[in-house]
Structure 1
Amino acid sequence: MTSRWPTALDQSLSTIDLYESHTERKHYDNRANLYAIIMATEHLERAYAQDCVTNAEYTTECNKLISQFKIAESALGKNESTESFMKNYQMDCPRAVNRLLIMGVPESLRSSDDGDRALTVATTVANFITAMDVLKLEQLDVDVLLPHLIDLRNSLVQISGTPKDWGPMQKVENWLVKLNFMRAHDRIDENDSRQLYLDLDSAYSEFNQYLKTKR
């Protein structure tokens, strides 16, 4: 094989970047993350259908992917949906669509003996994890935080037998009141972010303790 000097085209190609700023890089990273989550869900669903993973392994991983999907989807922006994203990148993932966009909970819980209660508990757990992960990723805009806290409140409401002044519900309601008084483009500061995370973590612990008393 003969060697040759690099041409001007070679040199220009070697310096081409997909992004020119931190914002553009974050944009591409978010899309790559969403793509990976959808593909991972599709493969997990296939593995579960073929009995290649246990119920426990499947449930753990599926809950994690559902939680990650909610965060990644919110990063798409208001002008693009998951469906259009998948169409644009020619993603043929019907199992992932069913799990992430339609069902929203692992199949193993849908078919469990606990029925509706298992679904409600699984949804609430996923909503807790999602809300806390959003804070870890420093997505502190009100219009990002508020929908996740509303989802969490709505799933907590469905937990039967809770007292009227139940701690987890009160903590979430207090933050909903505060955020509702802010504008959509406002951001909570670092102190509020840390306090909200602490309150959610405490509420999650109380929620788990309550479930243990009902077994």
Structure 2
Amino acid sequence: MYSNRQLAYAPTPYIPRSTLSATINLDEEVKLSSTSTERDLYDSLAEIYSIIITLDALEKGYLKDSISEADYTETCSRLLKQYKSNLADETVARAFGDLETFKREWDMECPRATERLRVGIPATVEQGPSHKPAQQGDSADATLVINATENFITLLDAIRIGLVEKDTLHPLLVEIIQAVNKVTDIDFESKGKIVQWLITLNQMRAAEKLDDDQAREFQFDMDSAYHGFKATLKKD
């Protein structure tokens, strides 16, 4: 009954061909780069990837109090420095693009690392240490007050003589926020502006400079912050 039914197709038997062979050696390591320049580029991008992952874990650890403030500050500062050093190479910077593009390409989330890289300084520097300074107001340690005051004056002098490059202003601004945090934890007038300008400068390339309008605004904000800081010293 079934022997007379014809098949809808004629199956073709598989006949292995002795001439087929693999085009690559499956036991051989696949190289992503063919030149030392390409290898250096991929090494730098891989390092940036690991820095972002590590920084995100560090931020989580700091929020959970599983790392001391001193260790957090030291490690975070080192990671931020390594991140910037890698991107100082123009070839690496071009291949990297920007942080959001890089994250999308490699399917990364890392929101805490993203925020820390945007700010460009450790949370302990941005917000100040969690413990209060030992002394405040008129009784504040004279050496710390003098140091903070000198940092403000140095920055304002730099602006007045036209030194408005990112690589000049950013380090001075970091020194100011660190110095004032050692003196007082009071959120004085325009203190938030210091952090805002740190973020703005952090997004700029080292050789970039503020334009005339930005420089005037920056000087005004830093003058206000300086007077706000001095006002805290007169409070009990």
Give the TM-score of the pair, scaled to structure 1.
Answer: 0.50
Question: Greater helix share, 1 or 2?
Answer: 1
The higher relative CO (CA closer than 8 Å, separation ≥ 6) is in: 2
Tell which structure's C-alpha radius of gyration is larger.
Answer: 2
